Amino acid sequence: MSPVVRRWIIGAAGIAGVILLWWLVAVLVFPPAPGAANSAVPTPGQVLAQIVADGPALYWKYFSVTLTETGVGYLWGNGIALLLSAVVLLLPRFETVLMQLAVISYCIPIVALGSIAVIILGGAKTAGDPSATAVFLAAVSVFFTTVVGALHGLKAADPASLDVIDVLGGSRLTQLVKVRLIAALPSILNALSIAVPAAFLGAVLGEYMGKIDVSVGTLMITSQVQMDSPRVWALFLLSALAALVGYALVGLLARLVTPWSTGRTQA
C-alpha cells in the first residue's frame, strides 16, 4: 500500500471516528429535554438536514460577506507584515520596533481592540457590504504570525551566499531579492497558511462587534437567540470547512512553489 493511500485511509478513519463520537455524545450525553425542539448538541444527521433545508443560497449570502472581509483583511495584514519585515533587512535597527509592534498587536485582547475599531471605523455602510471593523480585525489577527515567520525565514539565508554578493559589491537590497527571499519562502508560506484561519476568526469576531446586518457572525447571533442549535452547529462546521480549505490551498501552493522544503524535487 502506497503512503498516499495509507494517509487517505487513516484520514477517513479519523473523520469517521469523530462523527461516531459526536453522534454518541449527542444521543447519550445531551439528549433533547422533554418538550424541547432541539438539543444542545444535535446529531450529525440533524445538522446535515439543516444545511440541506436551508440550501446553499442562504449560506452563500452570509458567507460571501465574511469571506470578502477575510480576504481583504488577509491581504492588508500580510502585505504590511511582509513589507515591514523586508524593511528590517535594509534597516536592521527597525527590527526592535517592528517586533514590539507585532507583540502588542498579539497581546491586546481582540475584543477590546474591536470595540475601539467599531467607534473609529464603524461597520458596513449598507446591508451586504463588508464591515470595516471585521476587515481591520482580520488584518490584525494575521500580523504577528506573518512578521515572525517572515523575519525567521529572511534570517535563514545561507551566509556563504550572502558573502558572495557582498564580495561582488552587492547591496543589502540585492541580498534581499536574490538570496533572502528565496530562503525565506518556506517559512513565509507556512506563516501565510496559518494566517488563513486567523483572518477568518478575526473577521467573524469583528462581525460580533455589531454595525453589520448580513454576515456569518450576525447569523450566528440570530441562531443563538432563537436557540436554533442545528443551525449554530451548521455554521460552526461550514466556518471550519472554509478556514480549512483556505489553509489547504495556501499549503498546496507552498508545496508547489517550494518543493525543496519537503524533500521533494521538481519534475
Q: What are the tens digits of pLDDT across the range 23-49?
A: 998 888 888 777 666 788 888 999 999
Residue 40 forms part of a structural domain: no
Whole-number pLDDT of residue 261 = 61
> Which grid cell sits at 191?
506563516
CB 140 within 8 A of CB 113: yes
Other CB atoms within 10 A of residue 209 CB = 23
Cα–Cα distance for residue pair 60/111, rounded to 1 Å: 26
Using only the alpha carbons of the chain, give its radius of gyration. Answer: 23
Annotate 88-110 with b (16+ C-beta within 10 A) or e (fewer).
bbeeeeebeebeeebeebeeeeb
Lowest mean pLDDT among 93-102, 154-163, 202-211, 229-238: 154-163
101 Cβ contact partners less than 8 Å away, ≥ 6 residues apart: none
Residue 157 forms part of a structural domain: yes
Cα–Cα distance for residue pair 63/53, rounded to 1 Å: 17
Residue 187 forms part of a structural domain: yes
* Tally of domains within the chain: 1
What separation in angstroms does the CA of 210 have from each of 176, 221, 228?
A: 43, 10, 20
Residue 224 forms part of a structural domain: no
CB 116 within 8 A of CB 140: no
> Which grid cell sits at 186?
518556506
Residue 260, pLDDT above cutoff 70:
no
Annotate 127-166 with b (16+ C-beta within 10 A) or e (fewer).
eebbbbbbbbbbbbbbbbbbbbbbbebbeebeeeebeebe
Residue 244 forms part of a structural domain: no
**Higher pLDDT, residue 86 or 171:** 86
Residue 139, pLDDT above cutoff 80:
yes
pLDDT digits (tens, 9 = 90+) for 175-213: 777 777 777 888 889 999 999 999 999 999 998 887 788
Work out the mean pLDDT of the chain and round it to a whole number: 86
Concatenated DSSP letters for 135-149?
Answer: HHHHHHHHHHHHHHH
Q: pTM of the entire structure?
A: 0.86
Concatenated DSSP letters for 133-186?
Answer: HHHHHHHHHHHHHHHHHHHHHHTTS-HHHHHHHHHTT--HHHHIIIIIHHHHHH
Residue 153 forms part of a structural domain: yes
Residue 90 forms part of a structural domain: yes
Give residue 83's domain range. 65-215
Nearest-5° Cα angle at 259, 256 to 265: 120
Of the CA atoms within 13 Å of residue 207, those in its CB half-sphere come to 28
Residue 257 forms part of a structural domain: no
> Which grid cell sits at 234?
451548521
